[in-house]
Structure 1
Amino acid sequence: MTSIGITAIGMYVPERVVSNEEFESRMGIEAGWIESRSGIRERRFSAPGEFASHLGVRAVQDMLSRDPEALSGVDLVIYATCTPDAMFPSTAALVAGQVGLTGVGAYDLSTACSGFVYALSMARGMILGGSAGKVLVLGGEVLSKALDQNDRDTAILFGDGCGCAVVGEVPAGYGFQDFVLGADSAGGPALYISNLADQFPDGQFMRDVPTMNGREVFKFAVRVLGDSGTQVLQKSGLQNSDVDWLIPHQANIRIIEAATQRFGIPMEKTVINLDRYGNTSAGTVPLALYEAVNDGRIQDGHELLMVVFGGGLSWAACTMKWWAGAPSLQAAAPQRGEVPA
């Protein structure tokens, strides 16, 4: 079977850094309490007039700065986001038109924080099914624009950012091995953003801003991260000890710690960056992947396990053997005065 994997990556986060101290001065929530409860020190907020399409374009531009030929042969764009610029046209189409991919297929995918791994699975399937040759996949959000900034349960947790990857053929032995995807709408009231409807099918009323039951989400997240990760390892014929790097959804450090204990994978082999970006929803996994590749932690042949959960409620997991044979898939050259890792 043809091996399908990631052939290029890029990322972008907005310039504005929002520290915990901002929330302390504005809402009276102690900065140290936020960090101790979530692991988050700061996050990025997009500028006025800066939306998901803008973040996506900048992420693709970053990728092209390291690999000018990265988009060659791309004939489909998938943007995983729950904060699209509009209901239509799709944000994927808006990005495609601005990065020289006018006329290719394009659609948005909405499974909240699980979206990027879902989109990788869709891209792989489209290629194996012959409907696409190469696929540009993006995961990004501008949740700061959707939040109620006075909601103490959500305002402190979320940030903005976008990562992207090109999915295509890679050498035999590399690339994606297996995926696990799932959803359970019964848990929807625990974490959601409403749109046109004002109530769930069971009659429960919805608010028009992101709403979360933290206790229920925590229990759900620990369970599905552990279960889906175990399932995808079994499907791939792998053991926990085979995993070089775990890349989890960056929602809360306590959730990640509990999940790693269930896996038996140490925190030392877990990629963490939520301290600097917060929860960027569909953007967390591609941002974490990019940074771990860029700083040299993830290297050619490493076995990766990605596990995510999101609103809906949804979850996804993926195993992949990393191929580092393209320019943007290797550690960045150290700057002058920097000591290589």
Structure 2
Amino acid sequence: MTLRAVVRGCGHYLPERVVENSEFEKTLDTTDEWIRARSGIERRHFAAEGETTSDLAIKAARAALTDAGLEATDLDALIVATSTADLTFPSAATMVQAGIGMEGGFAFDVQAVCAGFIFALANANALILSGQAKRVMVIGAETFSRIMDWTDRSTCVLFGDGAGALILEGVEGEGTNADRGILSTDLNSDGRHRDILYVDGGVSTQTTGYLRMQGKEVFRHAVEKLAATATSALDKVGLTGAEVDWVVPHQANIRIIQGTAKKLGLPMERVVVTVQDHGNTSAASIPLALSVGRARGQIQEGDLVVTEAIGGGLAWGAVVLRW
């Protein structure tokens, strides 16, 4: 028998304010058609004034607990993947821990930008397999609208705010790739590419800073690296793309999603796509897509799911799991 980290429940939350592409036409030299053609994005959600990343995460966490039929006190650990935590410290995770009434266990943040949820899932999986926790909630939550340069049309139209949560529970499996739960993980980073996607501020500079991106360079790295990490994760458990029911990619750009699917030899009919409605929500992107995909009836129990992401660092990775 082999211990597996099995999905027990999921949930998400999106801020009430919906921002259509047409809103940017008032202040930028851009159009709805231009944004759609280059990114596939039609709208995104922005947090309200005073609404923080931990606020979004708490609502997603409550939705996941309801879905799982659990209480916060049933959790042993809580991990929040975010690049836009409320404060320098304490962690957003400890704020969520208090907000949902989780009085025991432990909580911490993971920062790997858009790949954050993948890295957090890998950490949660390791905690369960090592016996340090039986149930772990993993949340991706972001308020990227707080770090946008609203004069830069190449970046500010791409991002949105939101949160998604997944609850993992240790369950005995047979030790084969037919088991439910996380089957493999693949993590990577390369700090030499820092300057193609970063925020030009932080604690040491005593400024918040704005997101800066070399779009063409990010695209070039993304398609190649995402396909490679997904293939690597599948190879680790003796699976191929042909056996995958759903790819749930980081929702950054429809052209990256299409390019990665093509490299994996998968039709778009087997890809969960939410970028048109959410934009790029960084670490929240994948759990949002998982929750929405499940709500749509796309992802069913027993389905083989591959999820992959790349973000600033560069950091990238993939997780193979059976729902």
Q: Structure 1 stretches of 5 or more lacking a match?
A: 199-205, 323-341
- Please tell me the residue identity of whatever aligns with 1:273: T
The one-character-per-residue Cα deviations of 1:119-140 (angstroms, maximum 9, x if unpaired) are 1110110111122221111001
Aligned residue among 196, 202, 219 for 1:195: 202
Q: Percent identity?
A: 39
1:264/1:118 Cα in 2 relative to 1: closer, same or farther (>3 Å)?
A: same
**Does the residue aligned with 1:89 lie in a helix, a strand or coil?**
coil
1:304 aligned partner: 305
Aligned residue among 160, 173, 185 for 2:191: 185
2:176 aligned partner: none
1:103 offset after TM fit, Å? 3.8
1:277/1:186 Cα in 2 relative to 1: closer, same or farther (>3 Å)?
A: same
2:113 aligned partner: 112
- Please report the TM-score for the alignment, with normalisation by the length of structure 1: 0.89
Distance 1:94 1:157 in 2: 28
2:136 aligned partner: 135
- Please tell me the residue identity of whatever aligns with 1:214: G
2:92 aligned partner: 91
Deviates more, 1:62-71 or 1:74-83: 62-71
1:102 offset after TM fit, Å? 2.6
1:72 offset after TM fit, Å? 4.7
1:170/1:295 Cα in 2 relative to 1: closer, same or farther (>3 Å)?
A: farther
Which stretches of structure 1, 4 residues or longer, exceed 4 Å deviation after superposition?
none
Distance 2:50 2:313 in 1: 28
- Please tell me the residue identity of whatever aligns with 1:291: V
- Please report the TM-score for the alignment, with normalisation by the length of structure 2: 0.94
Distance 2:73 2:169 in 1: 11
Contact map agreement 1:35 1:41 (CA 8 A) in 2: yes
1:176 aligned partner: 182
Contact map agreement 1:7 1:70 (CA 8 A) in 2: no
1:210/1:49 Cα in 2 relative to 1: closer, same or farther (>3 Å)?
A: same
Contact map agreement 1:6 1:170 (CA 8 A) in 2: no
The one-character-per-residue Cα deviations of 1:185-230 (angstroms, maximum 9, x if unpaired) are 11110001231345xxxxxxx9921110001100010111011011
Contact map agreement 1:73 1:133 (CA 8 A) in 2: no
Q: Please give the residue correspondences for 1:46-57 in structure 2 after superposition, counting only pairs within 5 Å.
A: 46-57=47-58
1:70 offset after TM fit, Å? 5.1
Distance 2:275 2:260 in 1: 15
Number of positions where the alignment pairs a residue of Structure 1 with one of Structure 2: 315
Distance 2:303 2:232 in 1: 20
Distance 1:107 1:158 in 2: 25
- Please tell me the residue identity of whatever aligns with 2:197: L
- Please tell me the residue identity of whatever aligns with 1:26: T
Distance 1:34 1:241 in 2: 32
1:41 aligned partner: 42
- Please tell me the residue identity of whatever aligns with 1:210: L
**Does the residue aligned with 2:156 lie in a helix, a strand or coil?**
coil
The one-character-per-residue Cα deviations of 1:56-114 (angstroms, maximum 9, x if unpaired) are 11112222343442545312111000000011111000000010113421111000000
Contact map agreement 1:246 1:269 (CA 8 A) in 2: yes
- Please tell me the residue identity of whatever aligns with 2:8: T
Distance 1:185 1:137 in 2: 25
- Please tell me the residue identity of whatever aligns with 2:203: L
**Does the residue aligned with 2:3 lie in a helix, a strand or coil?**
coil
- Please tell me the residue identity of whatever aligns with 1:176: I
Distance 1:314 1:4 in 2: 23
The one-character-per-residue Cα deviations of 1:11-30 (angstroms, maximum 9, x if unpaired) are 00000000100011221301
1:282 offset after TM fit, Å? 0.4
Please state if 1:5 is matched with 2:6: yes
Distance 1:70 1:246 in 2: 30
- Please tell me the residue identity of whatever aligns with 1:116: F
Distance 1:29 1:318 in 2: 36
